[in-house]
């Protein structure tokens, strides 16, 4: 999974190096009941994935699904894998009664905008990121986030 994430054109190595291990981080995400990781395997390897989480949106006054880290391995793109993965994510959002799906995409990956538009997403927000290098690492522990 780490190898697939490296294709997102973001400094993943630096982010993951700050963690005790990528496996620990993945375990924390998987144990969090508000998080979902969907993967696609083909040819005995992981070829696509996405991460999503759910939260109560204050303005919508309802559940929102937030999708990020969407990646399909080069060589497997334009085969319908990404569409199937996104459709599965929207299906999970519907099962969890989410009112909306929001999607975070790296602005450097301009080629994917048309893909997301074709999936029914519309470009609506302009976001910002603030790195917090002193932030403490947290671990999900069955109902609480602990440091």
Distances (CA, A) of 121 to 81, 117, 138: 17, 5, 31
CATH dotted code for 2-121:
3.40.630.30
> DSSP characters for 68-81?
EEEEE-TTSTTSSH
> DSSP characters for 9-38?
SS-HHHHHHTSS-HHHHHHHHHH-TTEEEE
Q: Using one digit for the tens of pLDDT, what is the confidence trace for 121-144?
A: 998 877 777 777 765 555 555 655
Q: Are 52 and 66 in contact (CB under 8 A)?
A: yes
Helices then strands, counting H and E runs in the chain, come out as: 5, 6
Q: Using one digit for the tens of pLDDT, what is the confidence trace for 67-126?
A: 998 989 989 999 999 999 999 999 999 999 999 999 988 777 777 888 899 999 998 877
């Amino acid at each position: 999974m780490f190898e697939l994430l490296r294709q997102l054109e973001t400094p993943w190595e630096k982010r993951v190096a700050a963690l005790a291990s990528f496996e620990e981080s993945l375990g924390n995400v998987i144990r969090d009941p508000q998080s979902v990781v969907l993967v696609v395997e083909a040819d005995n390897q992981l070829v696509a994935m996405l991460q999503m989480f759910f939260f109560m949106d204050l303005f919508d006054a309802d559940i929102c699904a937030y999708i990020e880290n969407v990646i399909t391995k080069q060589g497997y793109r334009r085969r319908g894998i990404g569409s199937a993965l996104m459709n599965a994510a929207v299906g999970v959002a519907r099962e969890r009664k989410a009112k909306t799906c929001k999607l975070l995409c790296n602005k450097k990956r301009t080629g994917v905008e048309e893909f997301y538009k074709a999936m029914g997403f519309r470009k609506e927000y302009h976001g910002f990121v603030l790195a917090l290098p002193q932030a403490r690492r947290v671990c999900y522990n069955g109902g609480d986030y602990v440091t």
